[in-house]
Structure 1
Amino acid sequence: MERSSSRRDARSGNNNDDLQNSESDGKGSKDVGEMETIERIFETKEVPPWQSQLTLRAFVVSFILGILFTFIVMKLNLTTGIIPSLNVSAGLLGFFFVKTWTKFLNKSGMLKQPFTRQENTVIQTCVVATSGIAFSGGFGSYLFGMSEVIAKQSNEDNASENIKNPSLGWMIGFLFVVSFLGLCSVVPLRKIMIIDFKLIYPSGTATAHLINSFHTPQGAKLAKRQVRTLGKFFTFSFLWGLFQWFFTAGEGCGFSSFPSLGLEAYEHKFYFDFSATYVGVGMICPYLINVSLLVGAIISWGLMWPLIELRKGDWYPADLGPGSLHGIQGYRVFIGIAMILGDGLYNFFKVLGHTFFGLYRQVKEKKSENELPVSRNSTPELTSMSFDDQRRTQLFLKDQIPMWIAIVGYLVIAAISIMTLPHIFHQLKRYHIAVIYLLAPTLAFCNAYGCGLTDWSLASTYGKLAIFIIGAWAGGENGGVLAGLAACGVMMNIVSTASDLMQDFKTGYMTLASPRSMFVSQMIGTGMGCIISPCVFWLFYNAFSNFGVPGSTYPAPYALIYRNMAILGVEGFAAFPKHCLALCYAFFGLAIAINGIRDLVGKQKAKFIPIPMAMAIPFYIGGYFAIDMCVGSLILFVWSKVNKPKAAAFGPAVASGLICGDGIWTLPSSILALVGVRPPICMKFLSRSVNMKVDEFLGS
């Protein structure tokens, strides 16, 4: 959900149960006691040195999977912005490919190095870092929001100073100068975060449990069955995408425009569009997110927009185009933004409060007890130095990354960035960038620490703050809209990669992967992502003539939302239609109130209260994808009732297969579009009255 303003959002934190459930199928499940002594199982296996963990085969597999997952993330970014956790798929497919490779070499007597969980961790880290650039690179948000396509939809600040169309060269250059800084900013803090503070990082911990389980005899057997299941549904999803393509010869054609709930409901964006991707996403995302999306769709497209449309000619002119922000589109966009900002600011101050309180408590404990502080948020088994912790701590501290490398790296990259970025965006001045880089290490630490406590990264919230601050500072007449969007990209990349790296350090800590190999694999993955993601975006951008237009296959809805945030930061409330500001205030307050109630009632009761961020997404896009996701939830729910252990073990594999197959179909469909091959059939649905008119016209 725009990754729900964070890494946790829809991509990782909300899916810890899925990650942990996929470790076993019931028969081979481990209890807590067994998990505590996982290193006893691997005690006889030698841990390879950090150089040996970085194998050529690992990076070949990472490159292939990185391309696959980049297509998936890019497609999700450009449709609805909801990105589920791909950690399970990355770890599982990485295990399968290398295990198959080594098994073949072993039979032929050519195997020189066995496949280890450390190498598996390197692959997972590299793949997630590669595909992560497709999100943090802003191809569905701030970066594409700079384009003329999106500027025309906003009808505000369309001066050339505030427009920059995508180009492969500057996009790759921009990502290379901003994506590595966050990695250097938190490297010196790895011991404090992981060893001293013993932060949980639930997503990193769950991923480590998953990888550890793969490399036990029972886990390896289960992994093979999971991969087989993933392969079946990958094939089905890919072929289903191919079949649907034949019926999409024109706009509004095909199964994706099937009025499954009736033509009236279809006009208000309520229909099942037969998307294997979002059925799979619904199986991975928690039930509450899917229900929240549906509630938001009902409130907006089912109630609010039809009522506001009745005020056409009173609240807003009746002759406005469908894309004008002074009409119904303004209500859809700005009320959605208000809810997103309300939710984001609430969680920003909540996590910041957790961060400062946790730091205060740990410093106080250190002074009073004169020993390493232990977070009270830690689970009981981590509060004492068990055999597992002793072994993991010893190896984690063995391969140190010299602090001077991080400091020099940060200063050099920052200097290059300050000199380079104004040539890419002349609206963004050197002093703007310098201020961001002075604040960035502190913000990166806060984000990484808060993520360790709550599993909630606030990357896009920091990015939105940068939009308003730098945009207002630059001023509208000096290209403040473009400056704000560019500043968002700089800030978002720094704080996002910082928390991602610390999550990966936690995974490496629990799988005995060296911090050096984690750092290097993250750097290589980020580098690959800086090239792969712009190329994949460029393919989408050139393959589809109506790319970025509302109602098209790839509308990129968040691009318009981010641009309008920048306009709001520069110009204020001038673009709002009548009564829109009052409604924005109401929904901003509603988002804060709902979050407050969720925290007050406790976790058990909060499961029945919708999440404001998820509710806000359909306000602009519509409810069709929420119906797809609820169908995925329903499938998983029924499956769990029939056979809970099997659903827990194979649900993520089925979901990943559906997402991967449909996602990879976008590659051949894009190539077909580029070479001018069009589908042969247009399947459309008409009402009886319209059909009679068509028959009369054709008959005449």
Structure 2
Amino acid sequence: MNLFSWLRPRIGLASSSQPEFTITAVLLGLAIGCLICFTNLSLGLQSGWISMMSIQSALIGYLISRILPTPLTPQEIIVVQTTAVATGTMPLAAGFVGILPALGLLSEERDGVPPIHLTWLSTIGWSCAVAYFGVFLSPPIRKQVIIEEQLKFPSGTATAHLISVLHKLPPPDTTIRNRRGYSQVDPEDNTRSIENMPGLSVIDNDEADEENDETEREIVEHEGWQSLAWSFGASGFLTLFAYFFPVTFSIPLFGNYLAREWLWYFTPSLSYVGQGIIMGLPTTLSMNLGMLVGWAVLSPLSKISGWAPGPVGDMSNGARGWILWISLGIMCADSFVSLLPVGYDYVVDLLSKHDIFDSNETETENRLVPMRWVLGGLMSSVVIGTILVWTVFGHDGIKPWATILGFILGGLLSIIGVRALGETDLNPVSGLGKISQLLFAWIQPGNIVANIIAGGVAEAGAQQAGDLMQDLKTGHLLHASPRAQFYGQLIGSSVSILVTTTAFTLYNRAYVIPGPSFPAPTAYVWLSLARLLRDGQLPENSGSFMIGFSFLFALLSTAKSMAARRQHWLSKWIPSGVAFAIGFLNTPSFSIARLIGGILEYVYHTRFAKDRSDIWMIVIASGFVLGEGVVSVLSLILQISGIHAVSCWGCGHGLCGGCPSV
């Protein structure tokens, strides 16, 4: 008898006709989740974007299960996906791509406190403090938004459709019909909706539906491994080649002068191309439009006008630091405006629903998470989390009562974020984090460390609860046990604490973070807003541009939300403020490759997918993204071992991460 056989009857899964909580499903989910975790940590530190990759987790889990002696059931695949997502999104949930690098940027001269660099054990403590609150928060939110309100959660619904197609099941009962397009994504959580996931639209014609399903199933079963293998291998090989010949990822496409002085170079990363395929053309267009405005117009303007006299790439007195403020204004305006209709609807629902707590639950009690577990877990995570935060950062960093307020605020913001995610497929965690920073600037004024930490605590709960809700929607549509998913979430989060902390510690030993290889752009967003709220000072003339662009994108976000609610085709082509702002944050090299991916997906989707299921593009994109993420771990080991670049030929512009400036 193995551990799971002994444990299953004791946790209420024995009566299930299909016991999802199996050791195979959990171990497979952990393996896939660790790959996603490495990928998200690397990509998040590079560009501020991470991917939930729920559909990719389900797809890879299915492919692997086909070679097992006993293929996994659809419900086991859901446990695989749930465990993988909980494991893979910890780099954002625990602030590894934003909060921790921001604390490392503190200046004793400017901020009154020296940079904070946590040890491995302290980072474990911080991660444990924020890793479980969102998990225990998800069961009661699930009952409200999935069971009572039946919000669509497009990515979760899309994943359920994929799993049902692959396992030859009837399509899940959903009202999503006859829509195909593109939706906006958050810069730190680029989930995709069913409308823009290739090969996953639902049509009314039964014969055509069956034919499409059969085609998709054949593509995955007969070509899935081959396509995944070559795309993974190609991306991994290119990444390793670029490690030994750094100019590969720093090509001065527009000449050495523009590369050296204005940071215009090209990174032909297949991982970025894969991300572009996942994002879709409208989002990558918004990002590149922001890149053009920020780096071809505002950056030269601020430099030539003397508003940003330092080197262009300097985040303190250079053009990049100057345009950061415009980016911050756009992100805040877009996020706040997009939350307004969600908040309005929530208030209306609360006022109008008389039987809001009447249950439409379809699961039996022994498959649900008991409420006593939820209440006990929430109280324990808050109390233990507060103690751990106080232990790690000390009384001068953030007071315990402020941390408790951060958890409470995180719970309230989670409800807003989850509703936004359920309706729009956008979890506006960046905007929610800014709300928490604004409140804590008033609650604990002048304490820049407390501002960042409390914001991170609040953001962690909102981000984690939102991601897990997509998985719970998938499970609800395919009748998977919520309790089995809950255990997968707990196990995935626990393992990811060790994996992410160790990987982050190794990255810090091998590279300067933020630095040329890993600029960690969102760290500057957190720190800059905290400094602004304390000092109220902006770089010269950046305030007027910040207000102007914020107002413009508040209007655009309003128009986009109104068009989306009317399901008007224009909604997908109105620029996304968040994606536009990310074009400001990152150098042009990050945006150009993603545009290539967006164009490839659009051309394939509109020209070739009629003759060949375009689910193939999901497989290719998954291989591209995971290939670079996995090989980046090998590059990290080589860096720590003292094995460096073979040749720095072509690096005269001084922008090659593995070579000294020339």
User: Shorter-chain TM-score: what band?
Assistant: 0.7 to 0.9
- 1:170-226 superposed Cα distances (whole Å, 9 cap, x missing partner): 111111122211222242343333222222211111111111222129465432222
- 1:243-294 superposed Cα distances (whole Å, 9 cap, x missing partner): 222212xxxxx11111223345434333432111101111111211100111
Matched, 1:223 2:220: yes
- 1:270-323 superposed Cα distances (whole Å, 9 cap, x missing partner): 3432111101111111211100111111111111111221112xx45x478963
1:408 — aligned with what? 376
In the superposition, relative to structure 1, how do residues 320 and 610 fare at CA in structure 2: closer, same or farther (>3 Å)? closer
Pairing of 1:508-527 with structure 2 (within 5 A): 508-527=475-494
C-alpha contact 1:327 1:577 (8 A) present in aligned 2: no
1:568 — aligned with what? 532
Matched, 1:73 2:40: yes
Distance 1:136 1:432 in 2: 19
Pairing of 1:238-387 with structure 2 (within 5 A): 238-248=236-246, 254-266=247-259, 267-312=261-306, 315=307, 318=309, 323=314, 325-361=316-352, 363=353, 366=355
1:590 — aligned with what? 552
Matched, 1:187 2:129: no
Tell me the TM-score normalised to structure 2 length.
0.83
Gaps in structure 2 of 5+ consecutive residues: 1-12, 170-213, 654-662
Shift of residue 683, structure 1, vs aligned partner: 2.2
C-alpha contact 1:137 1:175 (8 A) present in aligned 2: yes
Opposite residue 622 of structure 1, the aligned amino acid is T
Distance 1:685 1:444 in 2: 46
Q: Identity over aligned residues, as a percent?
A: 25
Opposite residue 598 of structure 1, the aligned amino acid is K
Q: How many residues align?
A: 588
Shift of residue 420, structure 1, vs aligned partner: 2.7
In the superposition, relative to structure 1, how do residues 462 and 638 fare at CA in structure 2: closer, same or farther (>3 Å)? closer
Shift of residue 442, structure 1, vs aligned partner: 3.3
Shift of residue 85, structure 1, vs aligned partner: 4.7
Opposite residue 458 of structure 2, the aligned amino acid is M
Matched, 1:607 2:572: yes
2:82 — aligned with what? 125
In the superposition, relative to structure 1, how do residues 608 and 50 fare at CA in structure 2: closer, same or farther (>3 Å)? same
SS at 2:387's partner residue? helix
Gaps in structure 1 of 5+ consecutive residues: 1-45, 104-113, 249-253, 374-392, 688-700
C-alpha contact 1:79 1:555 (8 A) present in aligned 2: yes
2:3 — aligned with what? none
Distance 1:489 1:648 in 2: 38
Opposite residue 188 of structure 1, the aligned amino acid is P
1:473 — aligned with what? 443
Tell me the TM-score normalised to structure 1 length.
0.79
Shift of residue 619, structure 1, vs aligned partner: 1.7
C-alpha contact 2:81 2:471 (8 A) present in aligned 1: no
In the superposition, relative to structure 1, how do residues 547 and 142 fare at CA in structure 2: closer, same or farther (>3 Å)? closer
In the superposition, relative to structure 1, how do residues 406 and 307 fare at CA in structure 2: closer, same or farther (>3 Å)? same
Matched, 1:553 2:517: yes
C-alpha contact 1:471 1:570 (8 A) present in aligned 2: yes
* Aligned partner of 1:459 among 429, 436, 440: 429
Shift of residue 146, structure 1, vs aligned partner: 0.2
Opposite residue 298 of structure 2, the aligned amino acid is M
Opposite residue 602 of structure 2, the aligned amino acid is F
C-alpha contact 1:193 1:199 (8 A) present in aligned 2: yes
Shift of residue 490, structure 1, vs aligned partner: 1.0
C-alpha contact 2:291 2:588 (8 A) present in aligned 1: yes
Shift of residue 62, structure 1, vs aligned partner: 1.8
Distance 2:476 2:36 in 1: 25
Shift of residue 614, structure 1, vs aligned partner: 1.0
- Note the aligned Cα RMSD (angstroms): 2.6
- 1:357-383 superposed Cα distances (whole Å, 9 cap, x missing partner): 34445x06x59xx9879xxxxxxxxxx
2:190 — aligned with what? none
C-alpha contact 2:38 2:629 (8 A) present in aligned 1: yes
2:182 — aligned with what? none
Distance 1:90 1:324 in 2: 36
In the superposition, relative to structure 1, how do residues 84 and 401 fare at CA in structure 2: closer, same or farther (>3 Å)? closer
Distance 1:67 1:660 in 2: 10
Shift of residue 621, structure 1, vs aligned partner: 2.0
C-alpha contact 2:331 2:577 (8 A) present in aligned 1: yes
SS at 2:240's partner residue? helix
C-alpha contact 1:68 1:660 (8 A) present in aligned 2: yes
Matched, 1:670 2:636: yes
Distance 1:233 1:494 in 2: 34
In the superposition, relative to structure 1, how do residues 435 and 82 fare at CA in structure 2: closer, same or farther (>3 Å)? closer
Distance 1:322 1:282 in 2: 24
Shift of residue 642, structure 1, vs aligned partner: 4.0
In the superposition, relative to structure 1, how do residues 263 and 535 fare at CA in structure 2: closer, same or farther (>3 Å)? same
Shift of residue 145, structure 1, vs aligned partner: 0.5
- 1:582-633 superposed Cα distances (whole Å, 9 cap, x missing partner): 2211122122122123234553123332111111112232222211011112
Shift of residue 158, structure 1, vs aligned partner: 5.3
SS at 1:530's partner residue? helix
Opposite residue 327 of structure 2, the aligned amino acid is G
SS at 2:89's partner residue? helix
In the superposition, relative to structure 1, how do residues 620 and 189 fare at CA in structure 2: closer, same or farther (>3 Å)? closer
1:694 — aligned with what? none
State which structure, 1 or 2, has the greater radius of gyration over its C-alpha atoms.
Answer: 1
Q: Which moved more, 1:182-191 or 1:625-634?
A: 182-191
Opposite residue 191 of structure 1, the aligned amino acid is K
Distance 2:642 2:102 in 1: 27
- 1:12-58 superposed Cα distances (whole Å, 9 cap, x missing partner): xxxxxxxxxxxxxxxxxxxxxxxxxxxxxxxxxx9972893111112
In the superposition, relative to structure 1, how do residues 371 and 608 fare at CA in structure 2: closer, same or farther (>3 Å)? same
C-alpha contact 2:51 2:89 (8 A) present in aligned 1: no
Opposite residue 302 of structure 2, the aligned amino acid is I
In the superposition, relative to structure 1, how do residues 82 and 196 fare at CA in structure 2: closer, same or farther (>3 Å)? same
C-alpha contact 2:441 2:533 (8 A) present in aligned 1: yes
In the superposition, relative to structure 1, how do residues 475 and 458 fare at CA in structure 2: closer, same or farther (>3 Å)? same
C-alpha contact 2:310 2:318 (8 A) present in aligned 1: no
SS at 1:52's partner residue? coil
C-alpha contact 2:99 2:452 (8 A) present in aligned 1: yes
* Aligned partner of 2:367 among 367, 391, 399: 399
* Aligned partner of 1:115 among 61, 72, 77: 72
In the superposition, relative to structure 1, how do residues 593 and 621 fare at CA in structure 2: closer, same or farther (>3 Å)? same
Distance 2:406 2:83 in 1: 27
Matched, 1:156 2:110: yes
Opposite residue 596 of structure 1, the aligned amino acid is T
